[in-house]
Chain A
């Protein structure tokens, strides 16, 4: 069984650019969540997708957007990058929306904004 994978592993962008991060969920998982982990901090919830629709969002501006595809893989898009967007971006998948369902995390994409 393949776990959660993310690409790319590292990315360097400049301020004002746009970036797309990708996540392949674990087989059979239909719910994907994205988290931002700034250096020295705990992960913060960005948003969640269930069956291709966003059904939960944290305190992030609209320039953070996402998609979920029919195979339940997902993208995180960030427009107009700011220096503070530099962080590790984690994707997690689970098999259903239930709060008790374990979330399985990918290794993350480290984004550096210069």
Chain B
């Protein structure tokens, strides 16, 4: 079954440290890839998306992600964490042949320590 895996349900970093959230997809055909952020009691906000253009994708709030076909990965990074980055992050994919529905990972909760 097509799926997306996020390694680490909880990641904790210090303010100013590098943020790395991992995401792997399961398909030999590169899908469309997305990262969403969810703040407590809110809906999902799109951070960035990969749609087969540049492999390094820049998003909002200083986040970026790199598509690596050989590793079937789409990890999210931010050079310097800010307290306001504390939230839950979801990697999602749309596989070819679908009706465009998103398949989400289980999420990674990011905590930022002062």
Which residues on A are within 8 Å of B, measured CB to CB?
A: 4, 31, 33, 35, 40-45, 48, 55-56, 58, 90, 92, 94, 97-108
Contacts and interface: CB of A to CB of B under 8 A. Distances in A.
Interface residues of B, number: 24
A106 B42 CA distance: 8
A43 to B, nearest CB: 5
A98 B100 contact: yes
A101 B106 contact: no
A97 B100 contact: yes
Contact of A43 (B49, B90, B98, B100): B90
17 contacts: A4-B43, A31-B100, A33-B102, A40-B107, A41-B106, A42-B105, A42-B106, A43-B102, A56-B99, A56-B101, A97-B100, A99-B98, A99-B100, A102-B49, A105-B36, A105-B45, A107-B43
Contacts of B32: 99-100
Contacts of A4: 43
Contacts of A106: 43
Interface of B is mostly: loop
B103 A45 contact: yes
Contacts of B106: 40-42
A14 B19 CA distance: 42
Interface in B48-77: 49, 51
Contacts of B105: 42
A114 B44 CA distance: 26
B94 interface: yes
B45 A56 contact: no
A48 B101 contact: yes
B113 to A, nearest CB: 22
